[in-house]
Structures are given as C-alpha cells and as structure tokens.
A and B are shown apart, each in its own frame.
Chain A
C-alpha cells in the first residue's frame, strides 16, 4: 500500500490538469448538444455516438485533403446536422420511436464513417498542418482559451435562440406536444430542427477533439452519449448545490460545460491513481449512475416512509418516558 502511494507523483497530476481542462471544454460543446435534445426536447437521442465520430472523420479527411483546419470544423458541423436530420426524419416521417431512430442512424454512421476514412483510423498530419486546437503542451494555453471562447459563444447563441419564437416553440414541444399543436406549432418540424442543431454541435465537438488528439477513429464516439449525459447531470447537481433556487437558464448551460470539465478532472484523477485505462468506461457508467441517483435519493430522504416511522417512534417514546428524553438531550 505504502509503495503504491509512494509511486503516485503529485507533479504528474498537476501536469495532466490542463489537458483535462481542455478535453473537458471540448466535451462541453458536445454536452450542450446533448442538453438540447435530452433536457429541452425531452428526446433521448442515441445518434450522438455516430455523429461525434462523423465530425472527427470528416475533419481528418478534409485536413488530409488540404482544407484549412478551421473550414473543416464548419463541414463537421454541417455533417452533424445531416445526421440529426436523418434521425429526425426516421422519427417524425417514418414513425420510429425516438431511441430506436437514434440507434439506427448511429449504427449506419459506423459504416459511413468507415467509408469516409477508408479504414478504422486516420492521423492528422500535425507536422504538415498548423492546427489551432492542439494538445501540444507548448500551445495548450491557447487551445484552452480558444475552446473556452467557442463554449461561451455557443452558450450565448443557445440562450438567444431558445428565447426566440422558434426556440420557445421547441421548448414547448419538449414540455407539452399536445398543447404545442393546439397553439399551431408544427411539433415534428421543431423536433427535426432541434435534433439537427444538437447533432451539429456534437459533430463539431468531435471535429475539435480530432484536431486535439491528432487522430480520428471510427470508435471515438463510442459511449459519448454517456459522457454527454454525465456532463449534463453533473452540471445540474453542482448547479443545484451552488446556485440553488436562483438557477437561471444561462447558468444551466454554463454548468453543463462545467459538468464536462469536472467529468474530465475525475477522469484524469482516476488515471493518475493508476486505474487501468480499460476500466474507464465502467467508471464512467458508475459516475453517471451515482450522479443520477443523488437527486432521487435526496428526494427520497425528504419523503421517506421509514424516516416518518422513525420520527413517530421517537415522538411516541418521548411521550411515554419524558425523563429519558431529558437524558437523551444531555447526552447529545
């Protein structure tokens, strides 16, 4: 045990922190996309595993084709929109249930991504092209600043968009589709728009991560829905704890990105503890399950039959033996 702790190097953790921050901010973009479908539209969209990798594959191939690394990200965004449209059409036009529609697009994107790259993974020629979102330790500060700006811009645009007539209609569709139709809102169109924008952001995030890590892999999106959900949920739990009742919409969005960063800090920390990298997905699932369970268990504590029984038993005990009650108080 002592040998294990001696083998842990605090400096290594310190050195890994900026990388964790950068990755957290990149996944934060993805988490904002997940927030739009999962929380605003109330739609569990499984497309994102595919669209995330789609963004990465598109980016790497276009960079290899001589495109500028910035223009490439725009194409990643558009490719993601197309993926979202596919899920939206499967769901609204063909009547396929939400989760299944997402899974169908996701699975088809696996083949599409393989076709785009021609093989399972491709490296970004980092020596030949100057990439702005680089993990090069020399420019890491610049990468973090740049990603932070992207996050802030997206949060601002989100805040504006969801406040517009169109955005309000999307929110209403997620909350009460019946009422939305009665107010003349084309709920199917709203779903398709939200899915498209969401997957656009997810693919953009995939494109940026590809530039950051220097390669794209058809499996890079595997489990990304869980990481996105982790960010959304960690963000919500933290926001509830820190801001409490005054939580407004812009804070919710900000904390979604914060959730992504926190997730990556946990990730870096656990790796630093020499956890085998193979077990990280298991760990992610445990983290998400824990954060999902917290609000539920909290509400249970406030509304617990057992708790009520205990309180009532205590009251009954007090009434039958007041002396003992006095002693109890002293003991406390």
Chain B
C-alpha cells in the first residue's frame, strides 16, 4: 500500500525561477491498485514519481509504503520497496554490462552487496525463463552487452528488472514515450501482464490519454502541482478521451498537441 500524505515541493524557492511543483498532494493506493497519471507539461507527474522514489526530500509531508514512513530515506535505501522504469531507455540499465549481470544487480535490490559471486549459474537459468516470457529472443543473448539492445528491448528488460524482485510499489514514468507505437504497445502489454500476475501496486505516468484509460483500475489527472481529478472502477472504464480533455480544460490546463493527438 502506498500512502502519500500532504506532500509539497518547491524548486528554486525565493528566486524568479521559483516553481511550486507539488502543492499539498495526497494520494492513497490500495494493494494491487494500478493507477495511471495524466497531465500537461509541468503538471507535477514526474515530480510526484521522483518524490516517491526519493530523488530529493520533499519540503513537507510524508510518504508511507505499507505503513512505514520512507520520506526520510535516501534514494538507494528506498529502492528496496520500489521498482522503477524511466522514460529514457538508457537510464534503467547499465549499457556496458551483460544482460544477466544487469538482472543480477536488480535481483539483489535491497540486499547487502557482499563478496559472493555476482551472477550464479542457478540464477542464469531463472533469468532465462523470465526473459522467455518477454518473447523478444533475449534468452539467447544473456551474455550480450545491454548497450547492443534496441530501446524497446532495453525498456522491456528494465521492466523485468523492476519487478523480478517483487516491489511494494512499481513506478513507471512515461516508460513507453520514447518507443515507436508498435514497440510501445508490446511493452504496455508486458506491463499489464506483469502487474496482473504479481498483483503489483502501480503508478504509471503517461502522455497518452487512450493508454491512461485502457490500462489500470484508477486514473488521476494532475495540473499545477495538484491532483484535480481522481476516478476509478466502473466510472473509469466508461471514460472517453473527450471527457478527459474537457475536464482538463475546465481545470484551466492547457492541452498540449501531444496529449490531444495521442
């Protein structure tokens, strides 16, 4: 369970570049909730993800994961509870290391790194099975450097690495935005399967309204550092893109071309 309690964050306070990125935001996700997040540029979508992940401390408020306050923990300590996939396919993996080495790093998330062997042959078999499920042919290239993979393959691998060790919360920050439509669909499909199988509590930022409606059981819309719309269940299933655009304009948000066209 994820509980965000009244968090605020202002960047460059007291300067002309001051930006109130999050204003008193609260959000509670129940176990197994798959919540999509939409909003225009600068709405605070990525900022709330970074706040939960611990890229920096929030100015005020608390973040609780399974009842434990993690807002005072640094990014690497918090990582034990979180699985993360980023917008840039380069960010989520170490390009100059092998596929199996990357997976082994992820499998040890939240554990102390010791002088035991980095990847064991037993693990490799396990990874091979996991990679097979992605259906990208990666199971035969386990000793290839990740840098040789395409953006879509890297993103799928990152997704697998984020969820191999079951995270309490899965954070997907526009993880299909840099991919071509066909690959994006494939990665989203894999996301759906992994979230369903693992019954994972998930927060997924997207620019694509159709995706936001089609995936997950809950949807929130952000604007100006606040959550302006929160919908779930039956009501969310019946949403249309036009409804969202309308809501968005009502809230005084500017509809970017990227949102309207997608």
Chain B residues with Cβ below 8 Å from A180 are: 76, 94, 105
Docked complex Cα distance between A167 and B104 (Å): 12
Kindly specify which of B58-66, B95-103, B127-135, B175-183 makes contact with the partner chain. Answer: B95-103
Docked complex Cα distance between A179 and B89 (Å): 11
Q: How many residues of chain A are within 8 Å of chain B by beta carbon?
A: 22
Interface centre among A166, A168, A182, A187 (most CB of B within 10 A): A182
If over half of B's interface residues share one DSSP class (helix, strand or loop), that class is named, otherwise mixed; here it is: loop
Docked complex Cα distance between A165 and B117 (Å): 6
Docked complex Cα distance between A166 and B93 (Å): 17
Write the nearest CB–CB distance from B107 to chain A, whole angstroms: 9
- Which A residues between 253 and 281 are near B, CB-CB below 8 angstroms? none
Interface residue? B225 (CB, 8 A) = no
Contacting pair A184 B80 (CB below 8 A): yes
Interface residue? A290 (CB, 8 A) = no
Interface residue? A299 (CB, 8 A) = no
Write the nearest CB–CB distance from B217 to chain A, whole angstroms: 26
- Residue from the list A164, A167, A171, A187 in contact with B94, Cβ < 8 A: A171
Contacting pair A166 B79 (CB below 8 A): no
Given contacts A182-B92, A183-B105, A183-B161, contact A165 B118 (CB under 8 A): yes
Interface residue? A181 (CB, 8 A) = yes
Interface residue? B84 (CB, 8 A) = yes
Interface residue? A96 (CB, 8 A) = no
Interface centre among B91, B110, B116, B118 (most CB of A within 10 A): B118
- Residue from the list A163, A182, A185 in contact with B113, Cβ < 8 A: A185
If over half of A's interface residues share one DSSP class (helix, strand or loop), that class is named, otherwise mixed; here it is: helix
Chain A residues with Cβ below 8 Å from B113 are: 165-166, 168-169, 185
Contact with A along B232-255 (1 / 0, CB 8 A): 000000000000000000000000
Interface residue? B160 (CB, 8 A) = no
Interface residue? B53 (CB, 8 A) = yes
Contacting pair B53 A175 (CB below 8 A): no
Docked complex Cα distance between A167 and B115 (Å): 8
Contacting pair B106 A165 (CB below 8 A): no
Docked complex Cα distance between A164 and B117 (Å): 4
- Which A residues between 161 and 200 are near B, CB-CB below 8 angstroms? 161, 163-169, 171-172, 175-176, 178-187
Chain B residues with Cβ below 8 Å from A168 are: 97, 101, 104-105, 113, 118-119
Contacting pair A182 B53 (CB below 8 A): yes
Residue of A nearest to B91 (CB): A178
- Residue from the list A179, A184, A187 in contact with B110, Cβ < 8 A: A184
Chain B residues with Cβ below 8 Å from A165 are: 104, 108, 113-118
Contacting pair B97 A181 (CB below 8 A): no
Docked complex Cα distance between A185 and B105 (Å): 9
Docked complex Cα distance between A185 and B109 (Å): 8
Interface residue? B3 (CB, 8 A) = no
Contacting pair A186 B91 (CB below 8 A): no
Given contacts A182-B79, A184-B79, A185-B76, contact A172 B114 (CB under 8 A): no
Contacting pair B108 A181 (CB below 8 A): no
Docked complex Cα distance between A183 and B161 (Å): 9
Contacting pair A172 B92 (CB below 8 A): no
Interface residue? B211 (CB, 8 A) = no
Contacting pair A179 B94 (CB below 8 A): yes
Docked complex Cα distance between A167 and B92 (Å): 19
Interface centre among A167, A168, A179 (most CB of B within 10 A): A179
Docked complex Cα distance between A184 and B74 (Å): 10
- Which A residues between 182 and 239 are near B, CB-CB below 8 angstroms? 182-187
The 9 closest A-B pairs by CB, nearest first: A184-B79, A168-B118, A175-B94, A165-B113, A184-B109, A181-B76, A169-B113, A176-B94, A166-B113
Give chain A's interface residues, CB within 8 Å of chain B: 161, 163-169, 171-172, 175-176, 178-187
Q: Known pairs A165-B104, A183-B108. 5 more at Cβ < 8 A? A: A164-B116, A176-B94, A179-B91, A183-B79, A183-B161
Can you list 27 contacts pairing A with B, beta carbon distance less than 8 Å?
A165-B104, A165-B108, A165-B114, A165-B117, A167-B118, A168-B101, A168-B105, A168-B119, A169-B113, A171-B94, A175-B95, A176-B93, A178-B86, A179-B92, A179-B93, A179-B94, A180-B105, A182-B53, A182-B92, A183-B106, A183-B108, A183-B109, A184-B77, A184-B80, A184-B108, A185-B105, A185-B113
